Copies of this chain bind each other. A is one copy, B any other.
Amino acid sequence: MAKWFKAMPDFVRRLILLATLLLAAAFAAPPAAAEDGYDLWLRYRPLPPALRQVYAPRLAQLSVTASSPTLKAARQELERGLDGLLGERPGLGGVLIAGTPRSSATIARLRLRLEGLGDEGFVIRSVRLGRRPATIIAANSDIGVLYGAFAFLRRLQGGQPIEALDLREDPKLKLRILNHWDNLDRSVERGYSGASLWDWHKLPGWRDPRYVDYARANASIGINGTVLTNVNANAEVLTPLYLKKVAALADLFRPFGIKVYLTARFSAPIELGKLPTADPLDPRVRDWWKSKADEIYRLVPDFGGFLVKANSEGQPGPQDYKRSHADGANMLADALSPHGGIVMWRAFVYTAAPDTDRAKQAYEEFKPLDGRFRDNVIVQVKNGPIDFQPREPFHPLFGAMPKTPLILEAQITKEYLGFATHLAYLGTMWEEVLGSDTFARGPGTAVAGTLTGMAGVANVGTDRNWSGSHFDQANWYAFGRLAWDPARSAEAIAGEWSRMTWGNDPEVVAPVVAMMMRSRQAAVDYMTPLGLHHLMATGHHYGPGPWVDDLERRDWNPTYYHRADRDGIGFDRTASGSNAVAQYAPPVAGRFAGLETVPDDYLLWFHHVPWDHRLRSGRTVWDELVVRYSRGVGAVREMRRSWASLEPRIDRERFEQVAAFLAIQEEEATWWRDASLAYFQSVSRRPLPMGHAPPAHRLDHYKSLRFPYAPGQ
């Protein structure tokens, strides 16, 4: 034994032995807690040593004066992030300063040109303070600082450089809102991730810490509002008992820049106020809403306002009194405007007795109202003219109401894209619609340029991983990032998310992003290729039902939409049909209306064509349909293979859930293809092209399947 070892005092020798053991344990031990997805993209797991060595000296010290709840949240998030990502940091070195000119004298002195950043923007700047390197996160407002803190942590999580930073960001859209279709009994309409997060019964007495994690997650992607309740609204939430509960949530969300909104049931003055009418022009009704708004603002001083679904799918509305949507919206707007609240009025309407193409109805009802809404009314329009289908052309109202602010409503929850078990990244879908040129003010007027905000129908619930599946977290993430900046690319967002969620290993990032980028097209292919739409089974929308033709309303039936018969398939929306194309600006209308110019992806949306119609591929429509259905299944099979290869690089629990879900997806994609082809073949009477195996079962089998308890109803 070395002399120096023997020379040491006994306790030091013991210390060395212990240290050796501890070191061995520290490096041998598996990660402390299994990864179950609860942490979302805010995992803050230790970075590789090489990165830590670069970052830690520049971030030795953190300086945030927590002079408000929001700045306190920013400081806590930075502490949590730096502690997690970097572990122990040296006591000396660079400093990270976050604040506003009011909260930090240093920031005030730095003259950072904060003008033009508005209420929510931020700068991140590398400077020197004397001889010390400093990183500054600065904003005009506390919430800007919090957004900047999350942006900075995202850089660290992604392993990006933090030297010589000069970043400047502010949100491109003002309203970035989640819509929860959550009911007061905690069921969630179109929810596939457990029950509603809102534990109404225990509120306000019990404030689940999860509410704060929800707010953190939203703030990290710039979401600044949340509608707590289902658009199929229940007036009960407007009673004093519930408003106290709403106020408790608002208190928890406020530091994170998230305003609370509620859905307003149009008939509430009757149900709660015992009035004989809910006529928006009746003074008693107007008074009732005014005093209800006053009551709400006493409890929630920064209440956001109301979201309203009226005269749609059985909901009450102003048309019950022969008033217009504008009359209804303006009445609520007048009640809210003294307090600064807004009304988001949904354009998703279709009349009870459809005498026209359902795709045309929102435009027909709302376009004439342009200019008739109060300033604090915003019309909320779904991305496409039908209903969150795997692929729709953009909604013709975008660009068509220049005097009315519009919100684009997207569905984050996957009602029509495989629920929680199918991997379908929606960033590409939203990128597609946001980038579509409306030609509203000449060429180059993308949908994104016509918007004041985006609303996303939330996919979060009580499931441990929030969104029902790990990959569905990416849709929540992408929604927030696109609402912040609709010009951001879906692929860049997928990369960001993948790094934050699965780690920086390039052998993981590349295949994960590749899976995500092709996943939505895969779902389109195995569900509704070539512009087909609304082929899902009744009610729950789980699985295929292209044969369904017996529902009460004609426009609830898949046969209404695909119109397949012995001769051909597709919905003629050109001048020879419903002429829905005419709702678009002429250059768009012309492109969609021409059989030579319409993109294959929208062919059967706009055209009824013979089965033998030839596509650009050279194949007939029938053959192309079969090829695309099969291609969709093949893509899922590819995703499974790709994921399986990542097993050694992904933590066990998350790996296995994704693997199990992909297996379910392959099974269900095959079911979609087989059931759809069995049906369409029974109509087209054509043979499958060479190399395509026939469906596993006869059509009757697919028709016989029942799923009375599929989730989300």
Contacts and interface: CB of A to CB of B under 8 A. Distances in A.
A205 B709 contact: no
Contact of A3 (B7, B18, B32, B420): B7
Contacts of A270: none
Interface in A250-292: none
Contacts of A129: none
A25 interface: yes
A233 to B, nearest CB: 14
Given A4-B9, A206-B664, A709 B653 contact: no
Contacts of A660: 205-207
A201 B668 CA distance: 13
A15 B20 contact: yes
Contacts of A225: none
Interface string A74-97: 000000000000001000000000
A194 B186 CA distance: 9
Contacts of A420: 202
A110 interface: no
Interface in A217-276: 236
Interface residues of A toward B: which range? 35 or more
A341 B21 CA distance: 54
A708 B183 CA distance: 12
Contacts of A710: 201
B664 A202 contact: yes
A26 interface: yes
A195 interface: yes
Chain A contact residues: over half helix, strand or loop, or mixed? loop
Interface string A678-713: 000000000000000000000000000000111101
A667 B32 CA distance: 40
B708 A236 contact: yes
A264 B54 CA distance: 65
A205 B201 CA distance: 33
A541 to B, nearest CB: 13
A580 to B, nearest CB: 35
Nearest to A200: B709
B22 A711 contact: no
A657 B210 CA distance: 12
Interface in A566-591: none
A428 to B, nearest CB: 25
Nearest to A468: B202
Contacts of A657: 206
Contacts of A26: 22
27 contacts: A3-B7, A4-B7, A8-B8, A15-B20, A16-B16, A18-B23, A19-B20, A19-B23, A22-B22, A32-B32, A32-B33, A185-B709, A185-B713, A194-B195, A194-B462, A195-B462, A200-B709, A205-B660, A205-B664, A206-B657, A206-B661, A206-B664, A207-B660, A236-B708, A236-B709, A462-B462, A464-B464
Given A205-B661, A205-B663, 12 more contacts: A4-B4, A15-B16, A15-B20, A15-B23, A22-B22, A32-B33, A194-B195, A195-B462, A205-B421, A205-B660, A236-B708, A464-B464
